[in-house]
Amino acid sequence: MLTNPSALMHQNLSTAMKRKPEEKEEPKNTLMGPPKKQMTKDKKDDILNPSRRVASYIEMLNKKREEIINV
């Protein structure tokens, strides 16, 4: 039974951070394309995603750690 999920969570987040975000096709001005309002909402959702925010904090801490190690 898993009693300490720290390592697993850290590993999953590191993997997710390494994976580059998929490049979306540029919207074409077509009738079937998504409306512009929806696209801006998607970007906002990405920023609001808690795991994204946690990833940004981890990146900051990682940089600080590297600075300390390299000094």
Residues at the interface with another protein (CB under 8 A): 4-7, 9-11, 13, 50-51, 53-54, 57-58, 61-62, 64-65, 68-69
**Which of 29, 70 has the CB closer to another protein?**
70
For residues 55 and 13, the answer to whether their CB atoms sit within 8 Å is: yes
**Which of 23, 57 has the CB closer to another protein?**
57
- Rounded least distance, CB 60 to another protein, Å: 9
Separation between Cα atoms, residue 45 and residue 39, nearest integer Å? 10
State how far the alpha carbon of 7 is from the alpha carbons of 16, 24, 31, 38, 63, in Å.
Answer: 14, 32, 47, 36, 20
**Which of 7, 32 has the CB closer to another protein?**
7
